[in-house]
Amino acid sequence: MRVNDKDYRTVWMEDGVVKLINQPLLPNTFEIYSCQNYRQTAEAIKTMIVRGAGAIGAAAGYAIAQAYLSDEDIQKAAQVIKNTRPTAQNLFYAVDKVLKAADKKEALSIAQQIADEDAQACKTIGEFGVPLLKDNAQILTHCNAGWLAFVDWGTALSPIYAAKRQGKKLFVFVDETRPRLQGARLTAWELSQEKIPHAVIADNAAGYYMKKQQIDLVITGADRIALNGDTANKIGTYEKAVLAKENNIPFYMAAPLSTIDFTCESGDAIPIEERDEKEVLEVRGVRLTPNQSRAKNPAFDVTPAHYIKGIITEKGIFKPDKIKQLAPQ
């Protein structure tokens, strides 16, 4: 990720301190946030200073390593970290992997390996996905599944970045993605940094552009993929998949293997995080609704496998019902 002519990862570790790009401040302010211990890193995950499947996973891996370095109760630390975001599979994958470390040195090594593998997997996802994007393609994406959602490159945006580097001309429709506006704030910021033409649209405008045949395909990220191909992603993704099906537009999801939960039989078993109702009732502290009104705020929904044309992984593009063959032997 290149920002102001300098290369960054979304999350990294220096001398036991976890460094994060402070995402709630974007696009107005670019700031690096430092977490001195695992509790601070867990809080950064919970409050979405760091967010996105792969970035959460890398941060969680580093957090467990911090617990090792500080001689904390490792099992207690693991539970604190796992309790931060219940839907994101990468978080559980990373915590469980670092927990296998025999000592501090190995914990650091495994955590770094998780981050490095995430960056490489996302780069490879871009390489597999780029043939889907014809020159002058118009793509719809939902939420943010780019650099900021992973250690680098991203998933849904990785093919777009790869296509741009090959000289293809593209246009991206960016769902604003209420209530936290990750599309309007983060995806649009990333595309601006890459000088990729785009337009932010209201979440409920996607069907309008699909019906006008102005969208060629949809690519989103994923937060947890079940064994049958059902996939949880940011709230509103299911609606986009239904609209795409109705308008004969191919709908793809992109995710590394670490997002697949091989113990989860179907989307019915994926836990859905409910976040604070203030995220719906307010925008950056300004109340938009009557004081007497309440809100419901599910952070994710599940797109059934039959709406998904393919899942782009670092091992290739797979039909949802073929995901199970990627299970570790």
Residues serving a catalytic function are 223
Q: Closest by alpha carbon to 288, among 299, 278, 303?
A: 278
Contact 170, 164 (CB under 8 A): yes
Q: Closest by alpha carbon to 221, among 143, 278, 161?
A: 143
Outline where DSSP puts E strands in 94-250. Answer: 137-141, 170-175, 198-201, 217-220, 224-225, 231-234
Q: Which residues pair with 198 in a beta bridge?
A: 172
Contact 210, 134 (CB under 8 A): no
Outline where DSSP puts E strands in the chain. Answer: 2-3, 6-7, 11-14, 17-21, 32-35, 137-141, 170-175, 198-201, 217-220, 224-225, 231-234, 251-254, 282-283, 286-287, 300-303, 310-313, 316-318
DSSP string, 247-301: TT--EEEE--GGGB-TT--SGGGS---B--THHHHEETTEE-S-TT-----B-EE
| Helix 104-129 and helix 89-98, axial crossing angle in degrees, nearest 10 | 140
**Alpha carbons 61 and 41: distance in angstroms, whole number:** 10
Cis status of the peptide bond prior to 179, with omega within 30 of 0: yes
Q: Closest by alpha carbon to 146, among 284, 240, 301, 8?
A: 8
